[in-house]
Amino acid sequence: MVRCDPEHREYDLEAVDRLPFSTAEKSERYRTENYHGAVGLNWYSTDPSLQFTMAYYLQPDELAFAEPHLTRIGELMGGPVARWAEETDRNPPRLERYDRWGHDISLVVQPPSFTESKRAVLTAQRVLRDDARRAGVNPSLPLFASNYLLNQADIGMGCALGTGGNMVKSLVAAYAPDDVRDHVLAKFASGEWEGETAQLLTERTGGSDLGALETTATRQGDGCTWLINGFKWFASNCDGQVFVVLAKPEGAPDSTRGVATFLVL
């Protein structure tokens, strides 16, 4: 049982939650077999802790707005999205390196289960945002809850859809030339690039040690564009349309002070 003191926000944990994961008792609690019956349930309606959190942080009028959306999203995540995720696990994305003529196209081919799931998730979240705007409600916390439920249903999609978007928009708004800024922000405003952002930061040499990056950036003759050359170890959404990439411009210090951020379209 989780109990919250509204004044002090202190939470009581069950005894098993205090045990190391290496113990038999903790292992028994989190056995996969215990959760086979979850698919098909409404993951918002069956999550009292999440409902409690929403009621705790939202005002009554905000909660009245959010709950119908979260109930629909909970049904979506616990049903179709969870089932599609299992299909994607059995039939994962594949890399199509060459076309029939031998040209390198490096195309990521997503299975229908992933594309259908992505479309359904983005539609549900877009409806929530649009309705919130019309109602004058801040959608941030309900959207956070939506992503929390998505991460339980399909953590791979949660990673793909949850990285880079705000980073791209904020960096472009602050630093991009007018023509680039207008082009990029218009793509987001129209919804065309919704869920199509990614970040390429870490590399094999240093993991999260950004100072160890080996990817280089060479300024081109037009003075505006750069040639980026390197090997990235992790891409949050490798078949996206717009990327935030870290690299070291030629001549920059070989440390974190020499790392620069680039927008790749």
pLDDT in tens, 65-110: 999 999 999 999 999 999 999 999 999 999 999 999 999 998 889 9
Residue 10 counted as domain residue: no
- pLDDT score of 11 more than 60: no
Residues 81 and 143 placed together within one structural domain of the fold: yes
Query: What confidence category does residue 13 fall into, taking pLDDT thresholds of 50, 70 and 90?
Result: low
Residues 147 and 35 placed together within one structural domain of the fold: yes
Residues 154 and 210 placed together within one structural domain of the fold: no
Residue 15 counted as domain residue: no
Burial of residue 190 (CB within 10 Å: 0-12, 13-18, 19+) is: exposed
Residues 158 and 235 placed together within one structural domain of the fold: no
Spacing of C-alpha 159 from chain mean position: 4
Residue 22 counted as domain residue: no
Residues 152 and 62 placed together within one structural domain of the fold: yes
Any bridge partners for residue 104, and if so which?
Answer: 98
Residues 193 and 155 placed together within one structural domain of the fold: no
Residue 128 counted as domain residue: yes
Pair 246, 201: CB distance under 8 Å: yes
User: Whose structure tokens read 């029939």?
Assistant: 100
- Counting the structural domains of the chain, the total is 2
Residues 242 and 132 placed together within one structural domain of the fold: no
Residues 49 and 97 placed together within one structural domain of the fold: yes
Per residue in 140-181, pLDDT (tens digit) is 999 999 999 999 999 999 988 877 778 888 989 999 889 999
Per residue in 42-68, pLDDT (tens digit) is 999 999 999 999 999 999 999 999 999
Structural domain that includes position 220: 175-264
- pLDDT score of 195 more than 80: yes
Q: Which of 264, 255, 258 is nearest to 226 (CA)?
A: 264
Q: Vertex 93, ends 89 and 94: CA angle to 5°?
A: 130
Pair 141, 66: CB distance under 8 Å: yes
Residues 190 and 139 placed together within one structural domain of the fold: no
Boundary-marking domain end, from 103, 127, 162: 162
